[in-house]
């Protein structure tokens, strides 16, 4: 086998594994929390839920530039192989998470998900650079298209795989990673070639590493805890710790810019951003992640927490069927990803990356036209359109960014653009959940109150239930938990006995919360979609006005 195909096969498997891992846990959360015997809506547990979702993303967003620079200076193959080994070790540890271990089990998962993020970061930052080194310019688009298809298809495969495996045993979602990680480590160690670098010792930019990583971590912490209720507020934006994290984090990022201008061997090569082709391609990727990152998660909540329960699916069935219903998104991406890569090699990437962003914007607009309960075939067609737009955009955008870099800068350059994407996705989660929860908080209490009054619930219970944080209802629906049943179990029996028996049955049913939250949830979702559409159009404008050329001296013989 020609070496370039070995690199493509190995990096494709690595990207597939890392991206499956990023999403498989989202759809498996109900099974995980039930297996650990944890009530996610209990006091303090909502923050743990956020860390299970966002922890992996926080690590990769904070450390990718550092990983890219280390790899450029000391060997991409070395750190790429190390990434597989770290990922395998963390997956093995996660597969031993004790049953019924409560919040300590959740903390165990969070810690080793962070370790997985380190391994996944080394894989992600080096796979594109290794691939770009191995393929000539006239075949690079095809190779990157295939690789990007695997990476983003893995995100959708993770949804289906999680829905299929987690109901049997949540440990399976971690075990499934192990053989791929072990195979990837041995395969890359014995078959990939190391770049012929000078091996000149370069002093580590400690100040740059500390200011950039510290700033990004503090900003990530601030954003994460901003989604948690604070005192009487539905969100934590007024929490002093959140404000302090964001202010100090931003101050460290600003100081990082000045540090990098003075050090001899900077971590972040600011000069790369002077290259308009690289800078605009990276910014378009950031905006794309910002527009679509949380929207797809909100669609999963829509399916799993509202649509499927309203159509008679049980709690045990919703994770699997939510994954199945998302398959058209994956099909659209797989269908158009390789095609756009091949066409980019022949005709250039501008028209395909720009067109992909506009098609995705069209898909998001079409989603705004659906009600909470919809006909599936039109919905599947819209998901296919969004997937096709993603596929058209991914490979051309990646090729344009990597073609703008010399071979020696591809690790740190890919670290920069991948950091842009991960930070965009993280900010997306915060912005769109803030919008959804804010609208939820404004409209849900009155809807909940009127529903409870119509069922004859005593006023004292009604007022307390109407004051439950909106985020608790939103994530309870997603996780298949009825917070009203949990609340009533703590209410004195004499008060509960005042509720009519028929009404009590309705309150304890699995469809009550989905019916109540459907209207405010759709308002929040539509607002998020409209904002996403605007962001994608801005990204398309950036992509349209960026010329494409291959930098001189970009080729590297291994």
Long-range own/partner contacts, residues 478-481 (CB < 8 A, 24 or more apart): 478/29, 478/30, 478/300, 478/301, 478/304, 478/305, 479/29, 479/30, 479/33, 479/40, 480/30, 480/304, 480/305, 480/315, 480/318, 480/510, 481/30, 481/33, 481/39, 481/40, 481/41
Hey, CA dihedral for 197, 398, 158, 94, is it positive or negative? Answer: positive
pLDDT for residue 170 is more than 70 = yes
Measured CA to CA, the distance from residue 61 to residue 271 in angstroms comes to 21
Q: In which residue are the tokens 């890569």 written?
A: 341
Q: Residue 416: pLDDT band by 50, 70, 90 thresholds?
A: confident
Does residue 239 have a pLDDT over 70?
yes
Residues 6+ apart with CB under 8 A from 95: 171, 174, 175, 178
**DSSP string of 234-265, one letter each residue:** SS-TT-HHHHHHHHHHHHHHHHHHHHHHHSSS
- Please give the model's pTM, rounded to 2 decimal places: 0.78
Q: What is the pLDDT of residue 196?
A: 53
Higher pLDDT, 474 or 249: 249
Q: What is the pLDDT of residue 71?
A: 77
What integer is the mean pLDDT of 238-256? 90
Which tens digit of pLDDT belongs to each residue from 432-488?
A: 878 877 887 788 888 888 888 888 888 888 887 777 777 777 777 777 777 777 777
What's the confidence (pLDDT) of residue 433? Answer: 78
Identify the band that residue 268 occupies on the pLDDT scale cut at 50, 70 and 90.
low
Confidence of residue 497 (pLDDT cuts 50, 70, 90): confident
Q: Does the pLDDT at position 553 exceed 60?
A: no
Which residues, 6+ apart, have CB-to-CB distance to 71 below 8 Å?
78, 79, 80, 122, 125, 126, 129, 411
Lookup: tokens for 45: 């547990």
CA distances 261 to 113, 251, 264, 265, 475, Å, are 34, 16, 8, 10, 45
pLDDT in the model for residue 551: 55
pLDDT at 197 over 60: no
Place of tokens 């989905």: 514
pLDDT 10s digits, 111-132: 999 999 889 888 877 887 788 7
Q: Report pLDDT for 195.
A: 62
Q: What is the pLDDT of residues 348-367, one digit of tens each?
A: 778 888 999 999 999 999 99
Cα 286 to Cα 434: distance, rounded to the nearest angstrom: 19
Which comes out higher in pLDDT, residue 16 or 287? Answer: 287
Specify the DSSP element, H or E, that contains 187.
helix 178-191
- Looking at the DSSP bridge assignments, the partners of residue 233 are 230
Please write the tens of the pLDDT for every residue from 201-235: 566 667 877 887 788 788 878 877 887 777 777 77
Whether residue 495 is predicted with pLDDT greater than 60 in this model: the reply is yes
CA-CA distance, 157 to 293, in Å (whole number)?
16
Nearby residues of 433 by Cβ (< 8 Å), 6 or more positions away = 227, 294, 298
Residues, the chain: 558
What 3-state DSSP class applies to 202?
Answer: coil
Paired tokens of 347: 């005709």
Question: What percent of the chain clears pLDDT 70, i.e. is strictly above it?
Answer: 91
Q: Which of the pair, 288 or 425, is modelled with greater confidence?
A: 288
* Higher local confidence (pLDDT), 157 or 554: 157
Question: What local confidence, expressed as pLDDT, does residue 337 receive?
Answer: 76
Which class for 307: exposed (0-12), middle (13-18), buried (19 or more C-beta within 10 A)?
Answer: buried
Confidence at 557, pLDDT banded by 50, 70, 90? very low
pLDDT at residue 358 in the model: 95
Taking CA atoms, 230 is separated from 19, 85, 239, 278, 437, in Å, by: 33, 40, 6, 41, 13
Distance CA(62)–CA(216), nearest Å, equals: 5
What are the pLDDT digits (tens) for 279-338? 888 888 889 888 887 777 788 888 888 898 888 887 767 777 887 888 888 788 878 877
Q: Name the nearest CA neighbour of 58 among 129, 15, 13, 115.
A: 115
Q: What is the pLDDT at residue 262?
A: 80
pLDDT of residue 555: 46
411 pLDDT tier (thresholds 50, 70, 90): low
Judged by DSSP in three states, 372 sits in: coil
Predicted local confidence at residue 533, as pLDDT? 93
User: What's the average model confidence in pLDDT over 9-27?
Assistant: 81
- 8 A C-beta contact, residue 80 and residue 130: yes
Per cent of the chain over pLDDT 90 is 15
pLDDT of residue 549: 63
25-52: pLDDT as tens digits:
877 887 888 888 887 666 667 778 778 8
């Amino acid at each position: 086998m020609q070496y370039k195909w070995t690199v493509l096969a190995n990096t494709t498997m690595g990207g597939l594994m890392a991206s499956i891992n990023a999403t498989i846990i989202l759809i498996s959360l109900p099974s995980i929390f039930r297996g650990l015997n944890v009530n996610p809506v209990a006091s303090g547990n909502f923050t743990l839920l956020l860390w299970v979702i966002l922890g992996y993303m926080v690590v990769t967003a904070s450390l990718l530039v550092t990983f890219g620079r280390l790899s450029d200076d000391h060997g991409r193959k070395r750190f790429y192989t190390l990434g597989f080994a770290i990922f395998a070790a963390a997956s093995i540890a996660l597969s031993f998470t004790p049953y019924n271990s409560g919040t300590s089990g959740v903390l165990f998962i969070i810690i080793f998900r962070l370790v997985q993020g380190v391994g996944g970061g080394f894989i992600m930052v080096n796979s594109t650079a290794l691939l770009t080194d191995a393929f000539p310019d006239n075949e690079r688009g095809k190779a990157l298209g295939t690789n990007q298809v695997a990476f983003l298809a893995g995100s959708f495969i993770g949804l289906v795989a999680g829905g299929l495996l987690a109901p049997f045993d949540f440990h399976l979602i971690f075990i499934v990673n192990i053989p791929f990680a072990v195979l990837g480590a041995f395969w890359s160690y014995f078959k990939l070639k190391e770049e012929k670098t000078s091996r000149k010792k370069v002093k580590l930019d400690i100040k740059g590493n500390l200011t950039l990583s510290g700033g990004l971590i503090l900003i990530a912490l601030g954003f994460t805890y901003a989604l948690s209720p604070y005192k009487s507020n539905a969100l934590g934006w007024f929490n002093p710790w959140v404000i302090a994290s964001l202010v100090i984090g931003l101050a460290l990022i600003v100081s990082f810019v000045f540090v990098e201008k003075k050090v001899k061997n900077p971590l972040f090569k600011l000069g790369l951003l002077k290259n308009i082709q690289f800078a605009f391609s990276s910014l378009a990727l950031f905006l794309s992640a910002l527009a679509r990152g949380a929207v797809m998660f909100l669609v999963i909540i829509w399916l799993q927490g509202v649509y499927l329960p309203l159509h008679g699916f049980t709690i045990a069935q919703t994770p699997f069927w939510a994954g199945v219903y998302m398959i058209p998104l994956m099909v659209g991406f797989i269908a158009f990803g390789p095609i756009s890569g091949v066409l980019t090699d022949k005709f250039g990437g501008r028209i395909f990356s720009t067109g992909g962003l506009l098609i995705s914007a069209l898909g998001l607009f079409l989603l705004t036209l659906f009600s909470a309960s919809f006909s599936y075939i039109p919905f599947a067609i819209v998901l296919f359109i969004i997937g096709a737009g993603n596929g058209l955009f991914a490979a051309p955008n990646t090729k344009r960014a990597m073609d703008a870099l010399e071979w020696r800068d591809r690790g740190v350059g890919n670290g920069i653009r991948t950091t842009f994407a991960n930070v965009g996705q993280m900010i997306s989660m915060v912005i769109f959940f803030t919008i959804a929860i804010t609208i939820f908080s404004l409209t849900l209490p009155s809807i909940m109150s009127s529903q409870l009054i119509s069922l004859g619930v005593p006023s004292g219970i009604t007022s307390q239930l109407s004051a439950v944080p909106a985020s608790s209802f939103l994530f309870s629906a997603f996780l298949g938990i009825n917070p009203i049943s949990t609340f009533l179990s703590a209410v004195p029996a004499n008060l509960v006995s005042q509720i009519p028996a028929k009404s009590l049955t309705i309150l304890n049913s699995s469809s009550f919360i989905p019916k109540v939250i459907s209207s405010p949830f759709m308002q929040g979702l539509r607002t998020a979609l409209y904002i996403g559409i605007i962001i994608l159009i801005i990204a398309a404008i950036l992509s349209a006005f960026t010329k494409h050329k291959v930098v001189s001296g970009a080729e590297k013989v291994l």
